[in-house]
Amino acid sequence: MESQSVHPVPPPAALLRRMQKYGSDPRVELSSDESAPLVRCEIESTRGHAVVELTEIDTADVTIQWMQNGTPLQGQDQPVLHLAELSPADTDIYYAIITEKSRQRRSQSLLLAVYPGYPMLDHSARAYVSEGKGLTKGFVVAKAVGPVRKKRYLLRVIGPSLKKFDISRPLMRPVVTLSRRNVSCQGLLQTTDPRIREWEQKAGAFKLDNPEQEFVASAELPPGSYSLTIQAEAGDEGEVLVEIYELNL
């Protein structure tokens, strides 16, 4: 008898794990075509929200019902789905049932993975800095469960604005250095981002009398241990306040 080679039968296409998107953007677009590849979105629970939007759909002739793994989401019948106060328990498959002229179809599916975030508590330190006697504030950017992501921080080193708090001698010209494991990270500091003033308000930081006289920067930092060092220029000395905020944007 002539031997015959046996070839494994490939799995049905519906069982293949198809991934089109992999990221942490809290706003996701889904096609109204069910055959489109599964979208995967990962966020930390500290961000707390996600927005899912149907594209390529004429809302005048259809009705929409958003579903969470087969369960209708009450009151969610618009092209845009708003998911708020997310926790790891909300990790699931989300999609929409679209009804048009008595015919139903299912939208592209979203696998939403919510990881527990580990936000750093806001840090602050105050000290008298003089030539040869600086201030070093250490902090740790922790790694959350899941893929490594950078986090954005707001760093403020305040001198002149302390006068309104009855500090008679603030440090006027602080020299600021950010480092990680004794390696300079100055290139990560962004002092000209136009969103800094908005972020200060969201973080609850007090208003600076003369922002141009203070050191305020934002930085996207990967997990690791960091040091923010403040030193005085020759002939300058005084009180300085250091503030570090984690921005949940």
Q: Is the pTM of this model over 0.85?
A: no
pLDDT of residue 11: 32
* Structural domain boundaries enclosing 44: 13-115
How large is the average pLDDT for residues 34-45? 81
Structural domain contains residue 4: no
Helix residue ranges per DSSP H, the chain: 196-203
Give the CATH number, domain containing residue 80: 2.60.40.10
80 and 157 in a common domain: no
Strand 151-158 versus strand 238-247 pairing type: antiparallel
Q: How far apart are CA 182 and CA 79, in angstroms?
A: 50
How far is it, in rounded angstroms, from Cα 137 to Cα 127?
Answer: 10
Same domain, 105 and 131: no
Cα distance between residue 52 and residue 79, in whole Å: 8
* DSSP-assigned states of every residue in 27-72: EEEEES-TTSPEEEEEEETTT-EEEEEEES--TTSEEEEEEETTEE
Average pLDDT of the residues in 148-166? 88
Same domain, 96 and 58: yes
More confident residue, 45 or 234: 234
**Whether 195 and 165 share a structural domain:** yes
Q: Residues 53, 71: contact at Cβ < 8 Å?
A: no
State the Rg of the chain over Cα. Answer: 26
How many domains does the chain divide into? 2
